[in-house]
Amino acid sequence: MVEGVTLTVEVRVGLAVTEVADGCPHTELLRRADIAMYEAKSSGRNLVTYSPERDGGRLDRLSLLAAELRYALTQDDQLFLELQPLIDLATDLPIGAEALVRWRHPRRGLLGPSEFIPIIERSELIHPFTQWVLDEALSVIGSWHTGDLDVPIAVNLSARSLLDRTLPGDIDRMLRKYRIPASKLVLEITETVIMSELEVVEEVLDGLRSIGVQIAVDDFGTGYSSLTFLARVRVDEVKIDQSFVKAMHHSVEASAIVNSTIALASSLGLRVIAEGIETPEQRAELEALGCTGGQGYGLYPPMSIDAATALVEEAADGLSGASAASGH
Ligand code: C2E
Ligand code: MG
Ligand code: MG
């Protein structure tokens, strides 16, 4: 019983055994246990013991990818960021850009984040990877000349990064290195972060807030505890998940969620961004509902850093030209 509610907890166990004499390193042993656990989850069995026959292929593939990623992080031509502009739905001006990572794999071609982020999240690569993304994003912000136009860059953080007590200090150091005001950096986190180890997460979030970086809740509405999240974690921005934007037209429920999220965010004084806007109808409806910002293929797709730079600097030039003409 938790606060009067009966919760049912289910456990799946993955077991991996080794003889000390085998000389199997502990990371390898953990990886095997992990694979057995995933098999337990997917097959619905409570306990699965690792067996090399069944999982050899998968194990090899995962550990190979992890090794290749470790190498990719040391190269400058494999991992790269694209930026997807966020715009003000009323004025069309860019109000931000989200950094989205891609991997130009030497043999497998271009890979999207869903193909390798899960591997990063389950390995010790999480720390160097997060540092790499932040470093790239901050160097872009540092190079932008946007005048009066405020265009922060948003970086996605894995839930696991919020368990890293050194994160706020690291970010603070990087902001100083590039001489960037902290408010130019938005960190996107998801609701899942508060499900576990709340104390550490709160400590890290407090640390980040005290530096002055902005926090956004990504994929809002998809977790189990969206409202609780907003009550607990002070954020600057709410991003409505694209599944609701997509379903808004034919689903009363989705449209109610979009509607009330916009109302909730505005009564809390938060920016609200609708993700995954693909059609003019979606855009018009969101604007009518009072949604201030949008992101989606129907506005701008993710693009190269150069293309995004040209776009925001052009918008900034247009803005300063317009204010000069009107005598401001
Ligand atoms: P996200 O943070 O929700 O990012 C938005 C995703 O939606 C991006 O996919 C973007 O390309 C896609 N998208 C944008 N507009 C539209 C649209 O109109 N329609 C549709 N269907 N999709 C749209 P992407 O680049 O594949 O990234 C997927 C997820 O991977 C991201 O979801 C984010 O959670 C994660 N991710 C990306 N980069 C990083 C990173 O550097 N670190 C971490 N930890 N996660 C990342
Ligand atoms: Mg995001
Ligand atoms: Mg999202």
Contact 95, 150 (CB under 8 A): yes
CA–centroid distance, residue 276 to ligand 1 (Å): 10
Indicate the helix (H) or strand (E) that contains 88.
Answer: strand 79-88
What is the rounded average pLDDT for all residues in the chain? 90
Ligand 1, atom 12, lies closest to the CA of: 276
Domains of the chain are 13-56 (no CATH), 77-325 (3.20.20.450)
pLDDT of residue 91: 95
Ligand 1, atom 17, lies closest to the CA of: 276
- Residue 155 above 70 pLDDT? yes
CA–centroid distance, residue 100 to ligand 1 (Å): 6
Phi-psi region of 271 (alpha: psi -120 to 50; beta: other; left: phi over 0): beta
Q: Where are the beta strands (DSSP E) in 190-227?
A: 214-220
**Contacts with 105 (C-beta within 8 Å, 6 or more apart), sequence order:** 68, 72, 78, 111
Ligand 1, atom 21, lies closest to the CA of: 276
Coil/strand/helix, residue 328? coil
The band of 90, judged by pLDDT with boundaries at 50, 70 and 90, is: very high
Give phi and psi for 139, each to the nearest 5. Answer: -70, -30
The band of 302, judged by pLDDT with boundaries at 50, 70 and 90, is: very high
- 246: closest CA among 192, 301, 296? 296
Residue 215's DSSP bridge partners are 187
Distance of CA 161 to the CA centre of its chain: 11
Question: Tokens 């271009």 identify what position?
Answer: 110
pTM of the full structure: 0.85
* Alpha carbon distances (Å) from 85 to 3, 21, 94, 96, 265: 43, 55, 6, 6, 21
**Contacts with 24 (C-beta within 8 Å, 6 or more apart), sequence order:** 18
Q: Which residues line ligand 1 (CB under 6 A)?
A: 84, 100-101, 112-114, 117, 133, 156-158, 188, 218-219, 242, 275-278, 295-298, 302
- Index of the ligand 1 atom closest to the CA of residue 113: 30
Give phi and psi for 110, each to the nearest 5. Answer: -80, 125
pLDDT of residue 3: 67
For ligand 1, pick from 156, 215, 245, 277 the residue to mutate: most ligand atoms within 8 Å of CB: 156
CA–centroid distance, residue 315 to ligand 3 (Å): 25
Choose the weakest-confidence range: 5-9, 118-122, 124-128, 300-304. Answer: 5-9
Ligand 1, atom 23, lies closest to the CA of: 276
